[in-house]
Amino acid sequence: MAETPRAREKHVTGAGQGLHKHGQGLNIGPTGASAPVGGGGGGTRSSGGIGGKLILIIILLLLGGGGGVGSLLGGLSGTGSVDQSYLSGSSEQYGELQNTGTLNTSVVEGSREKYTTIKGNGTDKITMMVYLCGTDLESKASMATNDLREMASADISDNVNVIVYTGGCSSWRTSQISSSVNQIYQVKKGSLTQLKANMGSKTMTDPETLTEFIKYASSNFPADRYELIFWDHGGGSVTGFGYDQKYPRSGSMTLEGIDTALKNSGIKFDIIGFDACLMATAENALMLSKYGDYLIASEETEPGIGWYYTDWLTKLSNNTSMPTTEIGKNICDDFVSKCAQLCRGQKTTLSVVDLAELSNTLPAKLSAFANNTAQLIKDKQYAQVSKARNGAREFSPSSRIDQVDLANLALNMGTTEGKELSDAILGAVKYNRTSSNITNASGLSIYFPYKKASYVDKIVKTYKKIGMSDDYSRCISSFAKMEVSGQAASGGTASPLSTLLGESASSYGEQAISSLLTQFLGGSVSSISGLDSSNTAFLSDRALSSDDVTSYIQMNMLSDSDLTWSDGNKIALSSDKWSLVQRIDKNVFLDDGEGFINLGLDNTYSIDGKAMIADTEKTWLAIDKQVVPYFHLDTVEEGDNYTITGRIPAFLNDEKVNLICVFDNEHPQGYIAGATYDYTEGETETVAKNLLELKNGDKLKFICDYYGYDGKYQNSYLFGDEITVSDSMEISDVTINDANIKITYLFVDIYNQQHWTPSI
């Protein structure tokens, strides 16, 4: 019998309270797990973790994302029991990636010479350019001001010029910096000296603004070594860098925009760093290799404190000829150590990538991997690819930006090409640090579609503009075509509401599947939420014919009708059907007599042979006995150590947030690690730094999604009673036996399609 995936430890403290919605509808859109899914998030730098409201409107953000899963290809174990490795987060087949905490100073033969030549003996002049777009990170939480204070606290020598460009913020927390115009400052020992009082009121996501700053700093402060730090929100490869609070409609600075800005500046950099979320991507690194020697960035969302500047700046000032890898190591060590002290429970990553080596080793290996993976899909091995993708470490899964660790993904594929690609990544990442609650984060991520296929066309266009090979574009297009076709063959956008109303489960025969796919691939894409004629060019992928797609799906499809209960609490599937299942979560609804309140998702169940055993206890998570909507996000296991993370939609002092709830070895009953802000839909597609700390006296109001008996989302409402934050605040499970509770289980298949069991 396979090991049951770890569930959080229940601590039942009595009867719950506050099982009611109240007030007027909030008109904020679905915040929970049962909103329609489909082809298609964004994200933001975290002040405790700022997500986008986009991050809340679909279910799959809640399903554990890809928490260090590796062994995905077995289907069933030799004992005839369900192989739960893809559900429990084990990586036994491929092993954990081991490149954290060790500095690698070697360089692969054939790599270009570095752009920067270090003179030595501490004689090098350094100009460090900090492109600081303060945005709401500053106006809400003083993050930019705090980092400027850290810089000013460093013992900066005369051989180091720290030049800061400010803007993008509606209200700076320090009166010294203008909120109306952009400015330029120099950070000196203990002070901030104004160099330019008025650079105009320009959007900081415009490449021309960045180019202007680089030209100013390099002309007025010529140096032997140039360093560039981007400070703001980050959105990874799809949306790039930055959110200008004063000009929110200007969008972000895409990778193409960064490429343009750096090309027009004419400067080559020793380090290009991102004190922003999610920018340690292979796409970004390959683009930046034309302009810099090293990239320092985070695969994951950054904790709200961001980089810690004081110590490493002081060390650099003491030796301006310090090797760049050592500078990077100091930045990573200071960042991860400070986050461990101040950001309990927050996932943290930071890596140093040798761009000269990466541009030498990665392109050919990535092309070979892409071609081989595309051939696997064509050769009816799509399940292997899907499970490798689902099992890869995913970053900011709630934002649906579809970025996964590239070495982990490649290794999971179980191919020679994957192993060689993984080796190339591990070689080019010269230093990598992560927090203890994250596994399989090797230092560089890549876009691979799964949560939001509507981004595929956009990223393919970006690849063309920044000069990436077409091989990877064809690979992800083939995968996305098969994935969304699998969703269409199951009827498209799914919802649990039909099962709550006792309607019969859907089942499609081969002829019906063929008909559905003919319509879908012929252009009738409305069945998949997020897809329309403007973002489905990938469906025209010629490498994968419509006949290939149809024949594969007909032979590899999980139907709602497969999920029937036996003995009241068991779902038993054949070996073939179990091989199609990728995730399971318990979904609980409260029937209040007029409709259904979604209480959320929890990963509570067990496995017995080929059957899943449901958790039928009528208990749910509560804070101070107040029942709260709770959604399981991620489970990380490493030996006997584990971390389970979930979120709770709420208002914190009337600001829309997600409370981040963590259960681990030291805190099996859980604690609130902080809160992440929400954005209105369309405000930004970048991801903000985490986490916002809760303080005694803060007020919490909880939010629930409400569905009518017609199966449609009605609105979101306040749920239960307001709670005041205190040191004695207790997280526990409470009984809700008197309520009309509906329990259903959500099964997610290899096409990322959701299937719900009948309610019990």
How far out from the chain centre does Cα 586 lie?
22
- What secondary structure letter does DSSP report for 706? E
Distance (Å, whole) CA 258 – CA 230: 10
The tokens describing 24, both together, are 């007027």
Q: Is 705 exposed, middle or buried (0-12, 13-18, 19+ CB in 10 A)?
A: buried
How far out from the chain centre does Cα 159 lie?
39
Ranges assigned E (strand) in 427-509: 429-434, 445-447
- pLDDT value of position 4: 61
- pLDDT value of position 285: 98
Stretches in the chain below the pLDDT threshold 70: 1-5, 33-98, 504-509, 512, 678-691
The reply to whether CATH 2.60.40 applies to domain 126-354 is: no
Distance (Å, whole) CA 198 – CA 179: 11
pTM to 2 decimal places: 0.89
Helix (H, G, I), strand (E, B) or coil at 673: strand
Q: Which helix (H) or strand (E) holds 591?
A: strand 581-591
- pLDDT value of position 51: 32
How far out from the chain centre does Cα 632 lie?
15
The tokens describing 11, both together, are 């601590």
Asked if residue 65 lies in contact with residue 452, where contact means CB atoms within 8 angstroms, the answer is no
Q: How far apart are the first and last CA of the chain?
A: 25
Contact partners, residue 496, CB within 8 Å, separation at least 6? 34, 587, 589, 744, 746, 754, 756
Contact partners, residue 127, CB within 8 Å, separation at least 6? 161, 163, 217, 218, 221, 222, 223, 225, 226, 227
Asked if residue 601 lies in contact with residue 33, where contact means CB atoms within 8 angstroms, the answer is yes
The tokens describing 558, both together, are 């999980």
Contact partners, residue 40, CB within 8 Å, separation at least 6? 58, 400, 451, 452, 453, 454, 455, 529, 530, 531
Q: Where are the domains of the chain?
A: 126-354, 362-431+438-470
Asked if residue 390 lies in contact with residue 66, where contact means CB atoms within 8 angstroms, the answer is yes
Residue carrying the six token digits 């859109």 = 29
Helix (H, G, I), strand (E, B) or coil at 613: strand
